[in-house]
Amino acid sequence: MAGVLDGVNQRTQLVGKNRLELLLFTLGGRQRFGINVFKVREVIPCPPLTRHPNASPVVRGIANIRGQTVPVLDLGQALRMRPIENPRQHFVILTEFNRTVQGFLVTGVDRIVNMNWEEILPPPKGMERDGYMTAVTKVDNELVEIVDVEKVMAEVLGFKMEVSADVLETVDSSGEAKRRVLVADDSMVARNQVKRALEQVEVECVLVRDGREALDQLKAWTEQGSVFDQIDMVISDIEMPEMDGYTLTTEIRKDPALKDLPVMLHSSLSGVFNTNMVKKVGADYWLPKFKADEMASSVLGHIQGKTAGNIES
């Protein structure tokens, strides 16, 4: 356990081609779950928790961690399992993603495993834990479920989905050409967040679950003619089963028929995001998740030929 607790911070700096590291943990039974180490700050014994009377039952309390107030969520309860009893006897995975810091209460932490994204597969139909898995893999010949923590956060804490009137006023509806983008993200919640935001500014979305599906779709379009007849840009998550966003971008840049297609990497990993890696693989923009106004204005800025002020390039 000490090795896991001490090593997480260093391992969050891992950036490689189509590789990831998973922190394995349990929620009261034998089944092991996983979370990408990129999202993890550290693992700590559960600190004292202060319960807020109006909070969701999933929020077991608020902890003061090094001077920062952090909500601690019962991940087992969030996944429709039994609440974790006696929190102080267990552990908190302190995470940073979607521009927020939060803790997830778990019963045990196993170890970190280094894997290739090709070994991470979409959940089989009929096996999804009420939609709370983004992917599955095998470790020691046992199934590991990778949790859609973005969905958990959206349900418990919520995200603003509406685009403001100020952004809506910037939509240029004078042209006849349809605005259309390809969105690749393994999280159903994240896909729908992007779709809802962009549809409000008259941008159509084609949704796929991972980089492999995105690349297959792009190549199918090139067989019909210019890809620019189909879409204006690609918006891709970074961490996805089978093919991550870095590798997808690299493959797009290698293909003569796709190489000029604008790519935005849209990542929940804002806390440890490596901008040098974004430039290395040839992405045009990156945008941390998730603010509806930023997404809408950034995409409009590109499509309408303006400077996308909230995107770093």
Per-residue model confidence as pLDDT tens for the chain (313 residues)? 544 544 444 443 444 456 788 999 999 989 999 998 888 999 999 999 998 888 888 999 999 998 899 999 999 999 989 999 999 999 999 998 878 899 999 999 999 999 888 888 888 776 555 578 888 999 999 999 999 888 888 888 776 778 899 888 888 877 666 789 999 998 888 898 899 999 999 999 999 999 999 999 999 999 999 999 999 999 999 888 888 898 999 999 999 999 999 999 988 775 444 566 777 788 998 888 888 899 999 999 888 875 443 444 4
This model's pTM is above 0.85 = no
Taking the domains of the chain in order of start, what are their residue ranges?
2-156, 165-303
DSSP tag of 178: P
- In the chain the beta strands, taken as DSSP E runs, fall at 19-26, 32-36, 40-45, 59-65, 68-74, 91-97, 100-106, 108-116, 133-139, 142-147, 179-184, 203-208, 233-236, 263-267, 285-288
Q: How far apart are CA 103 and CA 163, in angstroms?
A: 29
pLDDT at res. 87: 94
2-156 is a CATH 3.40.50.300 domain: no
In CATH terms, the superfamily for domain 165-303 is Response regulator (3.40.50.2300)
Q: How far apart are CA 13 and CA 17, in angstroms?
A: 13
From the list 93, 120, 91, the residue with the least C-alpha distance to 12 is 93
